[in-house]
């Protein structure tokens, strides 16, 4: 089965024969496409991998509100403002489903928040870039949500039930987000020369960071082999990146934009595009906290946490009072 196939690539994945009975029964369930549910036995590594990935994903949705939130008050029309507001609210909702999914694995919301605010937890590299013009809002919807969908559609088949179910709803909403972004780009490209230039400039700046959302190249991906053996990931980082390039380049061409990559060329043999090497040094710098907006993003989340203290205190005081009344009545 799959676990054995991965082992043959020399990435240290146990075969079914090498597993203890509990682990073997668990792996057989995964191989048979049966979902794992919260209270069932699971290897500690599986639980930890899911907590890591789901909490990073949740943090990405929450931090991901900031670059676009920056433009809500500056959207060019009332319609665009209403659409953007709804989209940003959706991202908050995605964060909440995902925190709930992670909580089913025994980690609390407070622990996850603490890890984000202390800088210990990661969130997607893409949200550490600035939104300089209205076209950036189009580029985010089109490229960032487009990449998110490419990554999340296979996650709908993830072996862990709560994550898989959260992804089904999230993907439906991301699809609307992607379309509204592409619609902004289409309008700009059909507008004045300056508007089209603004769209091209946004594509130039967001192209590489969007491709980096899929994670490091397969040779440098620490978790892919085990995550695929466990049915958490269905594809490698490079497979999804390739799919994204193949789908997105024709979309750019359709509206008269050019992907900023001199090495981009259709390869008829592989029925896909060849594309240039990405700037992985930049990617790792962003992951280390040295991207253009890392400090600003974390600072905004820390401020929101501090500013919300009175509200959390109020809720707790109310809950405690209600509990005391209930006890007195018993
Ligand atoms: N940014 O071994 P791998 C969205 C880390 S949602 C930062 O390949 P894995 C919606 C990785 O964590 C976007 N860190 O890791 C939206 C690991 O570090 P660790 C978020 C990254 O987990 C749109 C190390 O590098 N989506 O955009 C990144 O097997 C608009 C080694 O990497 C998800 O989170 C990165 N790009 O594969 C919201 C989807 N890539 O933990 C608002 C779920 C890698 O050992 C507005 N996640 N790293 O310290 C996944 O599918 C996977 O976790 C990958 C990475 C594919 C991201």
Mean pLDDT of the region 69-89: 97
Write out the two tokens for 141.
Answer: 């919807």
> d(Cα 210, Cα 208) in Å, to the nearest integer?
5
Statement: residue 11 has pLDDT above 80: no
Statement: residue 122 has pLDDT above 70: yes
Mean pLDDT of the region 131-146: 98
Taking the CA of residue 56 as reference, the ligand 1 atom at the shortest distance is 34
By three-state DSSP, how is residue 36 classified?
strand
Statement: residue 80 has pLDDT above 50: yes
- Burial letters 282-314, b for 16+ CB under 10 A, else e: bbeebeeeebebbeebbebbeeeeeeeeeeeee
Residue 276, C-beta contacts closer than 8 angstroms, at least 6 positions apart: 261, 262, 263, 264
- For residue 61 and ligand 1, the question of a CB distance below 6 A is answered with yes
Taking the CA of residue 152 as reference, the ligand 1 atom at the shortest distance is 39
- For residue 122 and ligand 1, the question of a CB distance below 6 A is answered with yes
Q: What are phi and psi of 272, to 5 degrees?
A: -160, 175
Q: Find out whether 259 and 46 touch, Cβ atoms under 8 Å.
A: no
Statement: residue 158 has pLDDT above 80: yes
pLDDT of residue 330: 84
- For residue 212 and ligand 1, the question of a CB distance below 6 A is answered with yes
Write out the two tokens for 4.
Answer: 């054995």
What sections of the chain are H helices per DSSP? 2-7, 21-31, 44-63, 65-69, 78-103, 109-117, 134-139, 145-155, 161-189, 193-212, 224-229, 237-254, 280-285, 294-307, 309-329
- For residue 151 and ligand 1, the question of a CB distance below 6 A is answered with yes
Statement: residue 3 has pLDDT above 80: no
Q: Dump pLDDT digits (tens) for 16-75.
A: 889 999 999 999 999 999 999 999 999 999 999 999 999 999 999 999 999 999 999 999
Statement: residue 8 has pLDDT above 50: no
DSSP assigned state of 160: B
pLDDT of residue 9: 38
- For residue 131 and ligand 1, the question of a CB distance below 6 A is answered with no
Model confidence band, residue 5 (pLDDT cutoffs 50, 70, 90): very low
- Measure 154 CA to ligand 1 centroid, in angstroms: 14
Please tell me the total number of residues recorded for the chain in this structure. Answer: 330
- For residue 145 and ligand 1, the question of a CB distance below 6 A is answered with yes
């Amino acid at each position: 089965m799959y676990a054995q196939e991965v082992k043959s690539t020399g990435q240290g994945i146990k075969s079914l024969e090498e597993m203890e009975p509990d682990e073997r029964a668990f792996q057989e369930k995964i191989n048979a496409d049966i979902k794992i549910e919260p209270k069932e036995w699971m290897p500690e590594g599986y639980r930890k991998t899911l907590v890591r990935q789901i909490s990073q994903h949740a943090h990405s949705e929450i931090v991901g509100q900031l670059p676009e939130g920056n433009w809500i008050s500056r959207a060019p029309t009332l319609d665009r403002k209403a659409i953007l507001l709804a989209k940003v609210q959706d991202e908050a909702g995605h964060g909440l489903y995902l925190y709930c999914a992670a909580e089913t694995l025994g980690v609390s919301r407070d622990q996850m928040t603490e890890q984000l605010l202390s800088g210990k937890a990661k969130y997607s590299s893409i949200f550490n870039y600035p939104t300089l013009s209205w076209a950036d809002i189009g580029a985010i919807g089109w490229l960032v949500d487009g990449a998110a969908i490419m990554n999340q559609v296979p996650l709908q088949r993830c072996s862990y039930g709560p994550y898989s179910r959260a992804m089904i709803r999230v993907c439906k909403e991301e699809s609307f987000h992607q379309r509204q972004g592409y619609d902004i780009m289409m309008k700009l490209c059909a507008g004045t020369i300056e508007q089209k230039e603004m769209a091209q400039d946004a594509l130039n700046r967001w192209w590489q960071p969007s491709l980096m959302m899929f994670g490091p190249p397969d040779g440098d991906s620490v978790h892919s082999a085990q995550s695929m053996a466990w049915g958490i990931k269905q594809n490698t980082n490079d497979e999804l990146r390739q799919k994204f390039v193949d789908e997105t380049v024709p979309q750019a061409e359709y509206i008269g934009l050019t992907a900023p990559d001199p090495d981009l060329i259709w390869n008829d043999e592989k029925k896909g595009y060849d594309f240039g090497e990405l700037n992985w040094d930049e990617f790792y710098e962003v992951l280390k906290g040295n991207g253009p907006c890392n400090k600003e993003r974390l600072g905004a989340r820390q401020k929101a946490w501090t500013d919300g203290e009175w509200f959390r205190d109020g809720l707790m005081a109310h809950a405690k009072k209600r509990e005391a009344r209930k006890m007195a009545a018993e």
